[in-house]
Amino acid sequence: MSDSNPSEFDIIQSFFSDLGHADGATQLGIGDDAAIVRIPVSARLCLSVDTVVEGVHFPAGTAPQHVAKRALGSALSDLAAMGAKASHFTLALTMPKSDSRWLKSFAKALHDMAVAFGVSLVGGDTTRGPLTVTVQVHGWLPPDKALTRASAREGELLVVSGTLGDAGAGLRCLQQALRDPNAEVDYLAGRFYCPSPRLLLGRQLLDCGSACIDVSDGLLSDAQHLAKASGVGLEIDASLIPLSPALQRLFPKQALELALTAGDDYELLFTLSESKFKALQSLSPVPVSVIGKVSGAGQQVSVKGYDLDIQQKGYLHFD
């Protein structure tokens, strides 16, 4: 493309017409009024949409590759939390100007992540305005199974994947411009910029898990959603919450508070029986840690070993 400020048509053609995993399920992809996708026999369509806005979900001036990965990663995480097999996505991209260098990096990062997670881009919309990226993801579920927030039962273990608090700490590093070449800062910033949707774990949990939610708003906030949806209480033991070495070293005093209240980690929080947990431990593609248990009725989340009087329990957009 000769032009560095491509038109809407050029943008779609040059950057988005052949993006992501090349699957055989797309009957008609980008270019017509709508896409047509072949649906596996008797599958259920599982879908979700997520928007990231510059200045709200990521700092102004964030590099295009980070914007792309944050947008697709956070959207795919919702499919992971349902136990769905991700298949396709659409992209509504609003940007202040047409800039082919920005678009090239954005599309390359989006493509790499889409290939890594086996999803293909089948359509979208391109408009001018404040930088806003909306990704709608589609996936498949068997007809009789899904991981919802509503099926936790008393006596089950409460388990989380990976480590918590890293993305919140990464955002703090970025806000404080702690950008010295330092492996720990890079690690935490990477956890903010590039979520790892736990799709494989989610699919394993279809067979052995009960209730599941992804940790997008913060552990306490998301545990409360799960407790309420299931009509159970949850007891968290603060000493069991998995914290990365980088978080503990750079934020020794705030590590636990970040793990409890900061969002954007996109780990899975789920419940299952003790015997099923033992089996899962050896299979799971990511470390899984018991952080508490399901305690019966009450719909309350209690945290042993931490003062729960924390003002900000998670990010709420209109508070």
* Interface residues toward Mg ion, by CB under 5 A: 33
Q: Which is nearer to ligand ADP, 74 or 244 (by Cβ)? A: 74
How many Å apart are CA 169 and CA 179, to the nearest integer?
A: 13
How many Å apart are CA 281 and CA 20, to the nearest integer?
A: 31
Query: Which of Mg ion, ligand ADP, none does 159 bind, CB closer than 5 to 8 A by kind?
Result: none
How many Å apart are CA 93 and CA 40, to the nearest integer?
A: 29
Whether the Cβ atoms of residue 232 and residue 297 lie closer than 8 Å to each other: yes
- Taking CB under 6 A as the binding criterion, the range among 121-129, 186-194, 206-214, 275-283 that sits at the site for ligand ADP is 121-129
Token digits of residue 318: 């209109």
- The residue from 67, 93, 159, 169 that contacts ligand ADP (CB under 6 A) is 93
Q: Cβ of residue 34: shortest distance to Mg ion, in angstroms?
A: 8
Q: Is residue 119 a contact point for ligand ADP (CB under 6 A)?
A: no
Token digits of residue 129: 């305005």
- Taking CB under 6 A as the binding criterion, the range among 59-67, 116-124, 130-138, 293-301 that sits at the site for ligand ADP is 116-124
Whether the Cβ atoms of residue 167 and residue 264 lie closer than 8 Å to each other: yes
Q: Is residue 309 a contact point for ligand ADP (CB under 6 A)?
A: no
- The residue from 126, 134, 163, 196 that contacts ligand ADP (CB under 6 A) is 126
Q: Cβ of residue 139: shortest distance to ligand ADP, in angstroms?
A: 18
Q: Cβ of residue 127: shortest distance to ligand ADP, in angstroms?
A: 9
Q: Which is nearer to ligand ADP, 11 or 188 (by Cβ)? A: 11
Q: Which is nearer to ligand ADP, 6 or 218 (by Cβ)? A: 6
Can you give the binding site for ligand ADP, defined by CB under 6 A?
Answer: 12, 16, 30-33, 91, 93, 121, 123-126
